[in-house]
């Protein structure tokens, strides 16, 4: 084979390989949903008892409203202290039947809010929900939480998401695995989608059961957080964030 022919053949093979890659990854250029997360410690002094806030927003660049969220895994920095001593637990059946009001006061460990939306007919209809975080009975030896969501209007609806606290790999210390059930609307219309979510667990001061403590050691670059989201249509999104190290002095 001459040099000219072999050069052309190589080019043709490269183009063919590129075309194969293109067709072998269908939807490679379809836009996936996007996520952004935010975390904060107040106060943020090392080892201090703190109010830990975790928040996220979800978007779908094509559809506007992302598909319904099914699972979320939040990776928490190493050394973040979860002390559930003195925190009562509330069974899921009781949470379901009576809401947080039916649970022991000492089982409430956090509060928050969420903004949901449903696409029905030609409309995108928002709904706000108030969140309560309760300690649930441990599962398989792992601490568990129930995240009770109550929406009032236009549909009065309650949902219970369940979360487990598990060990995680460096640079993280623990992961929160959250399962979110379908949030139905009306027949023939999709389940509600979460657009934004914010939860604050714990609080400063020496009073009250349970405590979240800021890690003693802050790595260079700040406390790392990460989250992965899986949606009802099997699409996924991921995000990372860092909380700056506390100022010294």
Report the interface residues with another protein, using CB under 8 A.
120-123, 125, 152-157, 185-189
If the CB atoms of residues 125 and 239 are measured against another protein, the closer one turns out to be 125
Q: How far is the CB of 210 from another protein (least distance, A)?
A: 31
Query: Is the Cβ of residue 136 or residue 160 nearer to another protein in the bound state?
Result: 160
Q: Tell me the closest approach of the beta carbon of residue 218 to another protein, in angstroms.
A: 44
CB nearer to another protein: pick between 71 and 96 = 96
DSSP 80: -
Distance from the Cα of residue 9 to its chain's centroid: 50
Give the shortest CB-122-to-another protein separation in angstroms: 4
Helix (H, G, I), strand (E, B) or coil at 27: coil
Q: How many residues does the chain have?
A: 249
- Residues 90/136, Cβ–Cβ less than 8 Å: yes
Provide the Cα torsion 179, 225, 174, 159; round to 10°: -20
- Sign (positive or negative) of CA dihedral 171, 175, 181, 183: negative
121 or 141, CB closer to another protein? 121
Smallest distance from the beta carbon of 128 to another protein, in angstroms?
11
SS3 91: coil
Cβ nearer to another protein, comparing 18 with 186: 186
CB of 30 to another protein, least distance (A): 17
The string of DSSP codes covering 88-143 is: ----HHHHHHH-GGGS-GGGEEEEEEEEEEEEETTEEEEEEEEEEEEEEEEETTEE
């Amino acid at each position: 084979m001459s040099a000219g022919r072999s050069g052309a053949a190589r080019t043709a093979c490269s183009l063919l390989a590129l075309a194969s890659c293109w067709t072998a990854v269908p939807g490679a250029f379809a836009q996936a949903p996007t996520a952004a997360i935010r975390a904060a410690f107040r106060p943020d002094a090392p080892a201090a008892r703190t109010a830990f806030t975790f928040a996220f927003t979800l978007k779908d660049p094509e559809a506007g409203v992302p598909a319904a969220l099914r699972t979320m895994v939040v990776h928490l920095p190493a050394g973040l202290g979860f002390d559930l001593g003195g925190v009562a637990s509330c069974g899921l059946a009781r949470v379901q039947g009576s809401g947080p009001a039916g649970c022991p006061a000492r089982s409430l460990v956090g509060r928050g809010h969420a903004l949901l939306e449903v696409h029905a007919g030609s409309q995108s209809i928002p709904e706000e929900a108030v969140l309560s975080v309760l300690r649930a009975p441990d599962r398989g030896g792992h601490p568990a939480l129930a995240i009770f969501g109550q929406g009032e209007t236009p549909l009065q609806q309650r949902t219970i998401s369940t979360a487990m606290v598990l060990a995680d790999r460096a640079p993280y210390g623990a992961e929160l695995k959250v399962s979110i059930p379908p949030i139905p609307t009306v027949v023939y219309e999709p389940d509600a989608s979460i657009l934004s979510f914010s939860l604050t667990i714990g609080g400063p001061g020496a009073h009250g059961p349970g405590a979240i403590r800021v890690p003693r050691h802050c790595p260079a670059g700040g406390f790392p957080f990460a989250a992965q989201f899986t949606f009802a249509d099997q699409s996924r999104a991921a995000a990372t964030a860092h909380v700056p190290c506390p100022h010294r002095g």
